[in-house]
Amino acid sequence: MHPVRKQRLYLVLFLVAFSSIAIGLVVYGLRGNINLFFPPAEVAAGKAPLGQSIRVGGMVVDGSIQRSEHNLEVRFELTDYAATVPVIYEGILPDLFDEGQGAVASGQLNADGVLVASEVLAKHDENYMPPEVAEALERSGASPGGNSK
């Protein structure tokens, strides 16, 4: 290869490699701050800060949803199958929010270890199928929904 062009090729490769490593290191270093996400196991272990805005995600525990009679307040529990976090939320829940489905609640942890949520979002997995196929799977014992992290 022409020597000048070879030099330019090395420059291009250096550019890509250097920027990838630099940006990769920054992203890796910031990973704790990017997330501020805590699985229930870490919340139960006391690793989540109190009085600071955090996110807790997991599956909504079956039978844990309690809706208040006179206002929009709702209580439920989130689990990662290692620990459970109780959540209080006042507001409208997304359509896809349901027991046995994934959800992410953001808010502040109070002294009792309950997350007072300012926002609750539903999380769905990557499975797409028609309703009949899902019903058939349920009947045969397999769950139509895969796992949600």
Partner 1 sequence: MWTFFHKLGSPPWLYAISGSILKYLLPATLLALGVGMVWGLLFTPPDFRQGDSYRIIYIHVPAAAVALAGYYVMATAGAISLIWKMKMADIAMQCCAPIGAALTFVALVTGSIWGKPTWGTWWVWDARITSMLILLFLYLGVIALYEAYDNKAAAARACAVLSLVGTVNIPIIYKSVDWWYSLHQPASIKFTGESSIHPSMLYPLLLMIAAFYALFACALLLRMRAEILDRERRTGWVRKLLEADAV
| Binding-site ranges for partner 1 (CB under 8 A) | 5, 8-9, 11-12, 15-16, 19-20, 23-24, 27, 31, 34-35, 37, 39, 57, 93-97, 104, 119-135, 144-146, 148-149
Give me the least distance between CB of 87 and partner 1, in Å please: 14
| Residue ranges at the known binding site for heme | 124, 128
Give Cβ neighbours of residue 80 (< 8 Å, ≥ 6 apart). Answer: 39, 40, 41, 58, 59
> 96 — alpha (psi -120 to 50), left (phi > 0) or beta?
alpha
**Rounded Cα distance, 120 and 106, in Å:** 6
Instruction: Give 3 or 70: the residue with its C-beta nearer to partner 1.
Output: 3
Give me the least distance between CB of 75 and partner 1, in Å please: 18
